[in-house]
Amino acid sequence: MGYDYLIVGLGLAGISFCEQLENHGKTYKVISDNSQISSVVAGGLYNPVILKRFTLAWNGNDQLKIALPFYGQLEKKLQIKLDYKVPILKLFASIEEQNLWFEAADRPKLNKFLNTNIIDNKNNNIDAPFGFGQVLQTGRIDTNKLVIGYQDFLKQKEHLISESFDFDAINLHGEYIKYKSIKARKLVFATGFGIKFNPYFNYLPLNGTKGELLTIKAPYLKEPNIIKSSVFIIPLGGDLYRVGSTYERTDKSNTITEGGKKTLLHKLNSIIKCNYEIVHHAAGIRPTTADRRPLVGRHPELKNMYVLNGLGSRGVMIAPSVSKQLFDSIENGEALPPELDIARFSKRYITKKS
């Protein structure tokens, strides 16, 4: 049987593209071995503001408008709770940082996302003498529940093949691609850091940044908001909090490390003043790029092969919009924005090929 699409990978990028196909009545199969786990271990925050510099994230406003209805649709389809609308409180380190916040809040593109009132600290177990700035229109997507729920959805529809992708099993034909017994018009790779091992797209400058996270149980913390300081502290319910994340650029494994744990605990202990226990420690490789923009588009020579990758640490916000842009490019001939299109790295492909 022939399909419109074969998708490889089922993280945020793969799920988002599947939803484009679902919404447009396309037939498809998905291959995934769960080897790239950055979507599963992610904090899952959606936040249109870069709090390190008090600037609007790239296309943050437009991405948010697409992302929130997208996850709402998925909640109804999968019949699970995914979107937890939780304020993010930026912990101020000084009066100077408060002033920078007020300056940012006066900017036209930021004023609807930054509360101009300083939030006083009322939690005796958090050290915040200068108070907080509140970011509006923020929350958390339960990415682990999303991936598991979508896997179940695809299994029920017999769309999911749980195996490692074998590049030697690809046969290229003029109008279609054949993979083992599967025949598809288009092949889309959405494999996160796994693209480094893809012979068709490994010329792309995907760097990959390792992130480690802790889940702690802190019965006395009693904090309903997401706290952002040198780390995020994200309430999960049941006295559980996710703490993250580290940014390691040399280690490209999903292995947890003692060094990563110590870094997180050192930062956490500078913020909270109550006892806690570590209940989980996880690591994953974020698919980050050299220019901090996604990698989207058609292979330079193979017209039926595409990539959807490089979503970085803001995949929850970025995935719904860029998956739509890729679909519209393939099916409707709409041009991809130059900052997304992998054509921007055509010279790298030519150099590698030669």
**236-255 pLDDT, tens digit each:** 999 999 998 898 889 888 89
**pLDDT for residue 52:** 87
Contacts of residue 46, defined as CB under 8 A and 6 or more positions apart, other chains included, come to 64, 67, 68, 138, 139, 140, 141, 316, 317
pLDDT by residue (tens digit) across 92-111?
999 999 999 999 999 998 99
What is the CATH superfamily name and number for domain 2-41+144-207+290-353? FAD/NAD(P)-binding domain (3.50.50.60)
CA distance 13 to 11: 5
pLDDT higher than threshold 70 for residue 38: no
Q: What is the pTM of this model?
A: 0.93
Question: Across residues 136-152, what is the average pLDDT?
Answer: 95
Cβ neighbors of 340 (< 8 A, separation 6 or more) are 293, 294, 295, 296, 297, 322, 325
What are the sequence ranges of the domains in the chain? 2-41+144-207+290-353, 87-137+209-286
CB 247 within 8 A of CB 286: no
Tell me, which fold does domain 87-137+209-286 have in CATH? D-Amino Acid Oxidase; Chain A, domain 2 (3.30.9)
CA distance linking residue 305 with residue 326, whole number of Å: 12
pLDDT at 319 (0 to 100):
96
**DSSP, res 144:** H
Q: Are 181 and 1 in contact, with CB atoms under 8 Å apart?
A: no
Q: Are 72 and 83 in contact (CB under 8 A)?
A: yes
